[in-house]
Each structure stands twice: as C-alpha cells, then as structure tokens.
Amino acid sequence: MSNTGDRDGNAPGLSATRKSNLPPLVVVVTRDEPWRSPTGIRFVERLKRKLYEEEEQFLNRDGRLSFEQCLADRQAGLSQTERNDYLQACAVADRSIAEQKARISKIMRAQASDEITDLEATIEKLDLDKAEVERLVKEISERHQALQSGRLVPVVVWWERVIFFITPTAKLPGMLQRCEQEREAKRARVLEINRGLIEARHDLAELKTWVANASPRPEPAPEASQKTEDDIKMDQAKDRARRDLRFKIKHEAGKKFQTLLELKQWRKDARHEVREMHLPEDEENELLDAIEHGYNEQLKKLKVDTGVFEDT
C-alpha cells in the first residue's frame, strides 16, 4: 500500500511545522458498502475496525455545510503554498481510505490470494523467529545451570577453539541474575511469537475457508479451455517450487550478517566479563588475546569486510 502520511492524514514529505499549520482535513466518508455488516471473519473485522477509526477523523460533524463549503472554509486564510499542502494532505487521506475499502471489498469477493500469500509468509517468518529464540533460551539455561553448579563456563562454542573460565564467587550472583533476566525476556518473546502464530494461522484458515465457500462461484471455463489433470499438477509443482525458493532466500539471505552481529556481541561481552574478573595483568591479557584470536579466526571464515560494523 502506498505511503499515506501520518495518523492525522497529513501528506508525507511535509515538515512538522507545515503539518502543524494545516487545519483539520476534509474527506468524503460514505458507509453504504454491503460488507459493512458483520461478517464473522476476524481478519476482515480487524481491517474494518482500522478503517472505521480512520474515517472517524474525517466525518463532517456539521451537517449544514456541504463538502465543498467545508473544504473552502478550512482553506480560508491559507497562503497558496499552505493551500497546496492542505489539498495534497486531503487527497492522501482520501486515497488511504479508498485503498482500505478496495482491499476489504476484494476479500469479500473471494479474491484473497494476495492476503493468503502474505499470511503464509508471515507464518514462515514467525516459525523461524521462534526456533531461533528457543535456541537462545536453551543456551541461556545451560549457562545458568553451569554457573549454579560451579562448572567451567564456555566463553565461546562456535568453532574449534573453546575458551573456559571460572567465575569468581563475588561475581556469581550478578551473573546468575542476568542469566535469569535474559531467559525470562526470551521466554516472553516466545509467548509473543506464539500469539502471533495462533492469530496468523487462524486468519489463514478463515480466509481459505471463505474463499472455498464463497458464492457465487465463478462460471466454469468452456470445456476446450479447461486444464487437464497433468496441467493442474504442473501448476501445483511450480507454485510449490516458488514457495520453497522464497523460504530459502528469506532463511539464507541474512544468515552471514546475523552471525557477524552475534560474533561482535560475543566479543564485546567476553572482553567485559574478563575485565570484571580483575585478574593480574598478564593473565587478563592472555584471556583477551585468546578472545581476539578466536574472533579473528571466525572473521576469516565469514570472509566479509567488517569495517562498517566497527564500534565508533
């Protein structure tokens, strides 16, 4: 959907000062569409509620004035530049409402293929996010258990060189507390993702059911143009191949970048923890050198220029 400006309907690209000088916008609001009545489809009802809230900003509360009179009154006293900005903002708000109406109308005509594709992509992304967060929860829990039992704690486990250190007793309570806080934050994120998955899957099932059962059904094509069973299977195979490719691209595209960010965060955290141990200078330097060695080895494996990511 196109950029529709801010919540007040102001046109995009206008400065804050110019926006604040504009009077309330005027947009023609009609509510006679047949899909205004309840549909029982939660996804559609959310879209309708969002549209209703936006329309409420532009309703003509003074029925004595026509749209043209109200528009003229709002522009009174404005300079030519301000008048142009005002008319542009009104047009943007009007276009936003028209696009939302068209989207809902299209769904109600059982033309929801774009919405279904978007929901399927959303579910795929949430599944990936959930798997990653659950992996982090497991790692944090293992670190927490290691700290509680007094075992050696691995600083890094991403490649062959694994560095271990023993946490000083004085630092242990704080490190345990940080682990618990981090684990609870990740668990809360898992719950949030689960709620999003439940909602997206419910919306997807509702839309598919609506499309399958909507009436009237399109007229069947003439016999000569109907697809054979082989054609249908070929179309299904092509569609599946496109979905697999889209999933692969989304999963792989940011893998190297995310690994680099995690590596740099580990380096920062590891150096901080070593300095907090207050070791003799030679022992501290030895651990710091080991961290840098492991960090540089991993960078070579990534084979990327990290200059733009360095902390300033």
User: Considering the domain boundaries, does residue 157 fall inside one?
Assistant: no
First to last CA, the chain: 37
More confident of the two residues 235 and 101: 101
Q: What is the pLDDT of residue 262?
A: 80
Q: Is the pTM of this model over 0.85?
A: no
Three-state secondary structure readout of 89-119: HHHHHHHHHHHHHHHHHHHHCCCCHHHHHHH
Residue 198 has pLDDT above 90, yes or no: yes
Q: Which of 165-169, 231-235, 256-260 has the lowest mean pLDDT?
A: 165-169
Average pLDDT of span 174-196:
90
User: Considering the domain boundaries, does residue 26 fall inside one?
Assistant: yes
Contact 137, 186 (CB under 8 A): yes
74 lies in which domain range? 16-108
Q: What is the pLDDT of residues 29-81, one digit of tens each?
A: 888 888 889 888 899 999 999 988 888 877 665 555 566 777 777 777 778 88
Residue 111 has pLDDT above 80, yes or no: yes
Q: What is the pLDDT of residue 225?
A: 52
Residue 175 has pLDDT above 60, yes or no: yes
Per-residue b or e along 41-70, where b marks 16 or more CB atoms closer than 10 Å to that residue's CB: bebbeebbeebeebbeebeeeeeeeeeeeb
Q: What is the pLDDT of residue 216?
A: 52
User: In angstroms, how far apart are the furthest CA atoms of the chain?
Assistant: 87
121 vs 82: CA distance, rounded Å: 42
Selection from 258, 273, 276, 270 nearest residue 294 by Cα:
270
Contact 116, 43 (CB under 8 A): no
User: Considering the domain boundaries, does residue 210 fall inside one?
Assistant: no
User: Considering the domain boundaries, does residue 100 fall inside one?
Assistant: yes
- CA 240, 244, 249, 251 dihedral sign is positive
More confident of the two residues 97 and 7: 97
Residue 151 has pLDDT above 70, yes or no: no
User: At 161, which amino acid appears?
Assistant: R
Helix, strand or coil, per DSSP, at residue 63: coil
Where helices occur in the chain by DSSP H, the ranges are 16-20, 42-56, 67-75, 80-108, 113-149, 172-213, 229-253, 255-276, 281-302
Q: What is the pLDDT of residue 3?
A: 43
Query: At 194, is the pLDDT very low, low, confident or very high (cuts 50, 70, 90)?
Result: very high
The residue to which tokens 């179309």 are assigned:
235
Chain-wide mean pLDDT for the chain?
Answer: 76
Average pLDDT of span 202-219:
78
User: Considering the domain boundaries, does residue 1 fall inside one?
Assistant: no
Q: What is the pLDDT of residue 196?
A: 92
User: Considering the domain boundaries, does residue 242 fall inside one?
Assistant: no
User: Considering the domain boundaries, does residue 72 fall inside one?
Assistant: yes
Residue 273 has pLDDT above 80, yes or no: yes
User: Considering the domain boundaries, does residue 55 fall inside one?
Assistant: yes
Indicate the number of domains in the chain. 1
Residue 158 has pLDDT above 50, yes or no: no
